[in-house]
Amino acid sequence: MSDTTFPHRPSAAFFDLDRTLISGSSAFVLGIAAWRGKLVPTHQFVRDAVSALDFALTGASDETSMAVRDRILGVVKDVRVDDLVALNADIVPKLMERVRPESRRLIELHRDAGRATYIVSASPIELVEPLAKALGMTAGIGTRSTIRDGVYTGELDGPFCYGPGKVEAMQALAHEQGLELDRCWAYSDSASDLPMLQAVGHPVAVNPDAKLQRHADQEGWPVVEFRKRTKAVIRRTTQAVGAVGLVAGGFAGGMKWARSH
């Protein structure tokens, strides 16, 4: 993973959050915390939970992607910024418990190589940024909502960080930080992140869903398979896609590559 051939060209590693960096859904953790904090009513929480389950089981489409966007924006609509930020005292520790040990090792390896490390997620930036900092990463890239008089309006303030929106946010960051995306890494479990993976020079599929697995096979991308604890497995159709795992040996000690070139 060395950049010694071009020591003056900056690079970075971008990590999807849900079912890649962590097991499960960060938005669901946020929803529970918002419900318990009485920031969202019970009927909205139940509706959002059903939508999240449907998304996990059926995968992404244009329609479901927009539903996810509306769900995330809806959670924060009419909520005071200070009240949402206050939830991080509960949310961040819970998400830290879900961070995969293998992902921590990958972050460390990229950091040791002198690369910036970023979480890229559709979840609100107010959640993504503190988690990134807690992990010792450079920063978080998340969905930004418009704020008026200290209250979220439920409207976007920038790209929705999902699918092509992730690439838009990454390109803006690359321009700002002088990064060269063709020298960067990206990690994800989902075919919905194909735009993000295709935007960098070093894409890696992590416990990929079936569509991403096929694409990785066709392109010769490395595929990292993390072992799974059965009780923590979340299934998308017939494939397990998100449990805390223990990778044998880690990246440096002989990381298991599935169908790498």
Q: What residues are labeled active site? A: 16, 18
Question: How does DSSP assign 31-73, residue by residue?
Answer: HHHHHHTTSS-HHHHHHHHHHHHHHHHH---HHHHHHHHHHHH
Strands, E assignment, the chain:
12-16, 116-124, 139-143, 145-148, 151-156, 185-188, 202-206, 223-224, 235-236, 239-240, 257-258
Amino acid identity for residue 169 in this structure:
A
C-alpha–C-alpha distance, residues 23 and 36, integer Å: 21
CA–CA distance from 22 to each of 25, 191, 207 (Å)? 8, 17, 12
